[in-house]
Amino acid sequence: MKLDLAKVRQFGNIEFLARQMVEGFITGLHKSPYHGFSVEFAEHKIYNPGEGTRHIDWKVYAKTDRLYTKRYEEETNLRCRILIDVSSSMYYPVETQGKITFSIAAAAALTYMLQKQRDAVGISTFAQEMEWQTSIKSTPSHVHKLFLGLQNLLERKPEYQKTSVAPVLHQIADSVHRRSLIVIFSDMFDEGNTEEIFAALQHLKHNRHEVLLFHVTDRATEQLFEFEERPYEFLDLESGEKLKIKPSQVQDHYKEAIGQFSQDLKLRCGQYKIDFIEADIRNGIDGILLPYLVKRSKMS
């Protein structure tokens, strides 16, 4: 399903939209991209003396002369925490509020997919601090509340809010159940020290979480600074500060600075074994989420 971000808010029902997206481009995957998505049998593990014999797979023993037991979904059930950055910069471009719209729609699609796989999911939003935060459950009533919350978030008017990514990630690392899947939707713009952000990402991995970072940007304007050569009044969405300039006056310096930050972020994620997904909102959800899930399914 090709999703026009400009029309997401006109759709009227984020839960129905998520269902359409998932059934349109995710259900074609034949196996889950995440360990723990299976509904019944999950995998074999070597039998250790002293364990119960109830789940020994005798057919495998007959073929291999080795004892293996079956692991089931109760043992491998996935727990997922989705983090959505709701700071002012996420409401760019102003015309479509594209970055936050993309993040909400993608989070809704993941939530629906997790529900279909009977996995537990919770959602948190943050700017300078944690705002909306739910428990992590898999019940239909809980997931319905998540969709209601996402719908409210989609309809919320933007406010001037700065971002404090690092403290929020440290808080999540300490509070979320160990060995959870943490999915982050953020542009990672933070006035703080970038080393603090990297330390917070490392904290998540230290606590044995699997982390996916969707780096949400409008690449043409935010990274390549592609504007017509004429006077503009640029507005800092997080501080309200205004600057009147022509693009050529700052383009080279800006591209160098933002390029260095993006490269450092990508390299650190690679070092920490965090999946870094470049989410250019102009590619649409189907151009970002589906290829990534296909890649993961082939790796599993």
- Report pLDDT for 151: 94
Average pLDDT, whole number, for the chain?
A: 82
- Tell me the mean pLDDT in the region 30-38: 44
Element (H, E) at 25: helix 14-25
Predicted confidence (pLDDT) per residue in 51-106, tens digit = 777 778 888 778 888 887 876 544 446 889 999 999 999 999 888 889 999 999 99
Predicted confidence (pLDDT) per residue in 156-193, tens digit = 888 778 888 999 999 999 888 778 899 999 999 887 67
User: β-strand 68-72 against 210-217: which pairing, if any?
Assistant: unpaired
**Whose structure tokens read 């403290």?**
167
- Report pLDDT for 28: 53
Instruction: Give Cα separations from 85 to 44, 188, 227, 260 (angstroms).
Output: 39, 8, 26, 22
Q: What is the DSSP string of 37-83?
A: --SSEEEEEE--TTS-STTB-HHHHHHHSS-EEEEEHHHH--EEEEE
Predicted confidence (pLDDT) per residue in 266-279, tens digit = 999 999 999 999 99
**Whose structure tokens read 């999911």?**
121
The C-alpha atoms of residue 226 and residue 40 are separated, in whole angstroms, by 50
The C-alpha atoms of residue 116 and residue 239 are separated, in whole angstroms, by 41
The C-alpha atoms of residue 17 and residue 202 are separated, in whole angstroms, by 34
* C-alpha torsion 56→61→66→68, nearest 10: -30
Q: Is 150 helix (H, G, I), strand (E, B) or coil?
A: helix
Domain residue ranges in the chain = 5-33+78-299, 41-73
Higher pLDDT, 184 or 282: 184
For residue 182, list its beta bridge partners. Answer: 81, 211
pLDDT surpassing 70 at residue 206 = yes
**Whose structure tokens read 């994620």?**
269
Nearest to 26 by CA among 291, 278, 216, 300: 291
Q: Which amino acid is located at 248 in the chain?
A: S
Higher pLDDT, 142 or 35: 142
pLDDT surpassing 90 at residue 296 = no
Confidence of residue 33 (pLDDT cuts 50, 70, 90): very low
Among the residue ranges 37-41, 168-172, 221-225, 249-253, the one predicted with the least confidence is 37-41
User: β-strand 68-72 against 41-46: which pairing, if any?
Assistant: antiparallel
- Tell me the mean pLDDT in the region 9-17: 78
- Report pLDDT for 194: 87
pLDDT surpassing 50 at residue 300 = no
The C-alpha atoms of residue 76 and residue 42 are separated, in whole angstroms, by 7
- Report pLDDT for 223: 87
The C-alpha atoms of residue 6 and residue 95 are separated, in whole angstroms, by 8
For residue 101, list its beta bridge partners. Answer: none
Q: Is this prediction's pTM over 0.75?
A: yes
- Report pLDDT for 25: 62
The C-alpha atoms of residue 143 and residue 111 are separated, in whole angstroms, by 8
Q: What angle do CA 225, 227, 230 make, to 5 degrees?
A: 130
pLDDT surpassing 70 at residue 138 = yes
pLDDT surpassing 60 at residue 38 = no
Judge whether 129 and 168 are in contact, CB under 8 Å.
yes
The C-alpha atoms of residue 51 and residue 61 are separated, in whole angstroms, by 16
CATH class of 5-33+78-299: alpha beta
- Report pLDDT for 136: 93
**Whose structure tokens read 């997919």?**
113
The single-letter DSSP state of residue 284 is T
- How many other C-beta atoms can be found within 10 angstroms of the C-beta atom of residue 263? 10
